[in-house]
Amino acid sequence: MLILGRGCLRFLIFILLLIIIIIAFQNIKWLMRTIYPIHYHDLIGKYSKIYEIDPYLVLAIMKNESRFNPNAVSRKNARGLMQIAPITGKWASKELEIPSYSEDMLFQPELNIQFGTWYLNVLKQEFGNNIELMVVGYNAGNGNVKKWLNNPKYSKDGKTLYRIPFNETRIYKKKVLRDYKIYTRIYK
């Protein structure tokens, strides 16, 4: 009787797991949209259009930079949804002629998304729409990317990075490109 009880219990657990798997497969799109949400849809749409940046790339960067937290602050004092560094914020505010700019404004979702998509457009122009270089530049800075492209230790052809010297940037690139592909598959 005890052996039969354990066998029945295993069978019931198996059936329960099977039911859970079937339900998960039927709801995979819902599950993926829960894991990969779209926040700030209107603002991302607006500035992605203005600066000609794929909105799914913006989402992937935002997800990895701040997990959609407008009050996020990094160890290096980057701020907001897209983690704009103070120096980038100051540069963007001059280029975009933002009146009375202050670093605290980087916590405003609209301004932060505007600056982030503007900077992605700068990287896009600089690196010829190479998304990998744009993502690496967003994390490590465009100056570092240019330096690495001109160094045979990191680039054989001056156009592609075969090695990225910053471990954080290597990991960041993989995560952002993965999330970009996932966002594209889920929502397109």
Q: How far apart are CA 165 and CA 102, in angstroms?
A: 33
Q: Please tell me the distance from the alpha carbon of residue 108 to that of residue 3, in angstroms, as a whole number.
A: 63
pLDDT at 32: 84
Give the DSSP letter of residue 84.
Answer: B
CA distances from 22 to 17, 79, 165 (A): 9, 42, 44
Do 141 and 170 sit in the same domain of this protein? yes
Q: What is the pLDDT of residue 26?
A: 74
Same domain, 29 and 43: no
- For the chain, what is the domain count? 2
* Same structural domain, 24 and 47: no
Give the ranges where the chain is alpha helix by DSSP (H): 2-26, 28-35, 41-50, 55-66, 86-95, 109-126, 131-140, 142-149, 167-187
Whether 18 and 109 share a structural domain: no
Q: Which residue range(s) make up the domain with 166?
A: 39-187
CATH of the domain at 178: 1.10.530.10
Do both 88 and 8 map to the same domain?
no
Q: pLDDT 10s per residue in the chain (188 long)?
A: 445 577 778 888 888 888 888 877 777 777 788 899 999 999 999 999 999 999 999 999 999 999 999 999 999 999 999 999 999 999 999 999 999 999 999 999 999 999 999 999 999 999 999 999 999 999 999 999 999 999 999 999 999 999 999 999 999 999 999 999 999 999 98
Q: Note whether 94 and 169 are same-domain residues.
A: yes
Is residue 131 located within the same domain as residue 163?
yes
Known catalytic residue: 65? yes
Name the pTM for this structure. Answer: 0.86
Catalytic option among 65, 97, 110, 126: 65
Is the domain of 64 the same as that of 26?
no
Q: Are residues 31 and 107 in the same domain?
A: no
Query: What pLDDT shows up at residue 3?
Result: 53
Locate 121 and state its tokens.
């457009």
What does the pLDDT read at residue 28? 77
Domain identity same for 155 and 171: yes
Q: Rounded to the nearest 10 degrees, how much is the dihedral formed by the CA atoms of 135, 127, 48, 172? A: 0
Q: 86 and 177 share a domain?
A: yes
Q: Are residues 86 and 179 in the same domain?
A: yes
Q: Tokens 């993502």 appear where?
A: 135
